[in-house]
Amino acid sequence: MQYQYHYEDRSDIRPPKKHNHVLAVIVAVVTVAGLCVASGLLGAAFQRKSQGRLIPTTSIVYQGTDTHPLKHYTENGELTVEGVAAVCAPSVVEIRTEEVVGGGFFQQYIEQGAGSGVIVSDNGYIVTNHHVVDGAEEIVVTISDGQQARATLVNSDAVTDIAVIKIEAEGLIPAVIYAGEDDGLRVGQTVVAIGNPLGSLGGSVTDGIISALERDVVVDGQKMKLMQTNAAINPGNSGGGLFNTHGELIGIVNAKKSGTDVEGLGFAIPIKTAWTVASDIMSYGYVKGRVDPDAISFNEIASNSLFGQKRGLYVVSAPGTPFETGDYIVTVDGQSIKTKKEWNALLSEKKAGEQVAVVVERKGVARELSYTLPEKKA
């Protein structure tokens, strides 16, 4: 792969002639006025209405050193791709993970992984993907200025593929969270993805458009409703940010469709979903209202056996529920359930506190039980 770099030719820039005092004064006045307008536009770009808890308490600060900030804006006052990169890149981090994996003959080895994350508070909270940090025993974060810090996992949610990690730091630059309505995002709208592709190219910026807003996509067996983009997404981008031309975080990158005949199919978790989950994790340590599918322990029989056991789920342990050890699950709300995966999928569509009708077979007799779905708090 070849990389092309563009260097801006500044050879035509010359200092003003010393003897032309009038011209110097005019240039100075115009420059100051231009910078004031730029400052006003920049302030307007990040002055957002606070709707609920979708805005971080710390505002983002422009970190660029460019003396000509107006070139970061289009004629309609939105940021260019260059402007989005300058404003948003400091909020995106690289993530490296290590996991101890068991090998053959009682051997173990270290498996390394890489991903991206987005800073959402100035004191070290970072949003990333569940699959980026799942199982990791060590998480190391590199922020945009090259500093590294070990992170701890606050909690993660496999259903939405969102995780929150925390580093001990102050004065970080959080992303501005998009707080608009869903109809404020449009198919065809320019977006910018910032992340750590291939685990070694941190701070990489790619641009594209929103290709679709609500795609039903199955990722690792989990059905999700995702935003589709044609911005280049590669391994390592997972957990990175998808930004609009106001410099706002509109999605958390989490998947790419790959194949020799596939191009430009990337996906991101919409920020409304991602931020709701992340906010709960930061506030409570878990996702409120999420059903705990593991409150009942099952033995899953893959096929009918010679000993009379039928394919399906058998209750092993279910304290505090109407189930008894040995109960065979027949249906849940009228739907046949044969695997733990099917059980989890059905419960993921419901909320804690809801009641479901479960038909079980107990000692050869069918019984209908009312089961109140418990909340997952860990």
Write the pLDDT tens digit of every residue in 198-210.
777 777 899 999 9
pLDDT band at 32 (very low <50, low <70, confident <90, very high): very low
**pLDDT score at 72:** 77
pLDDT band at 184 (very low <50, low <70, confident <90, very high): confident
**pLDDT score at 52:** 30
Over the chain, what is the mean pLDDT? 79
Highest mean pLDDT among 90-99, 194-203, 228-237, 307-316: 90-99
d(CA 242, CA 248): 8
The answer to whether 240 and 274 are in contact (CB under 8 A) is no
The mean pLDDT of 92-116, rounded to a whole number, is 79
Residue 33 confidence (pLDDT) above 50: no
d(CA 194, CA 88): 8
Q: What share of the chain is helix, strand, coil (3-state, %, to 5)?
A: 20, 35, 45
Using alpha carbons, list the distances in angstroms from residue 309 to 2, 189, 313, 343, 367: 60, 55, 10, 19, 18
**pLDDT score at 67:** 39
Write the pLDDT tens digit of every residue in 9-25.
333 333 333 334 333 33
Residue 329 confidence (pLDDT) above 50: yes
**pLDDT score at 256:** 64
pLDDT band at 147 (very low <50, low <70, confident <90, very high): very high
Residue 317 confidence (pLDDT) above 70: yes
Residues annotated as catalytic are 131, 161, 238
Residue 249 confidence (pLDDT) above 80: yes
Write the pLDDT tens digit of every residue in 215-235.
888 877 778 889 999 998 888
Q: Do β-strands 248-256 and 297-301 pair in parallel, antiparallel, or remain unpaired?
A: unpaired
Residue 332 confidence (pLDDT) above 60: yes
Residue 134 confidence (pLDDT) above 80: yes
The answer to whether 231 and 207 are in contact (CB under 8 A) is yes
Residue 71's closest CA among 10, 26, 4? Answer: 10
**pLDDT score at 261:** 57
Structure tokens at 140: 């190391």
Identity of the residue numbered 105: F
More confident site: 328 or 43: 328
Q: Dump strand ranges (E) for 104-146.
A: 108-119, 125-128, 138-142
Please report, to the nearest 10 degrees, the dihedral formed by the alpha carbons of residues 28, 33, 39, 45 taken in order.
Answer: -140
Least confident of 56-70, 123-137, 179-193: 56-70
The answer to whether 89 and 241 are in contact (CB under 8 A) is no
Residue 66 confidence (pLDDT) above 50: no
Highest mean pLDDT among 148-152, 224-228, 233-237, 305-309: 148-152
The mean pLDDT of 140-153, rounded to a whole number, is 93
Write the pLDDT tens digit of every residue in 263-274.
668 899 999 999
d(CA 239, CA 219): 14
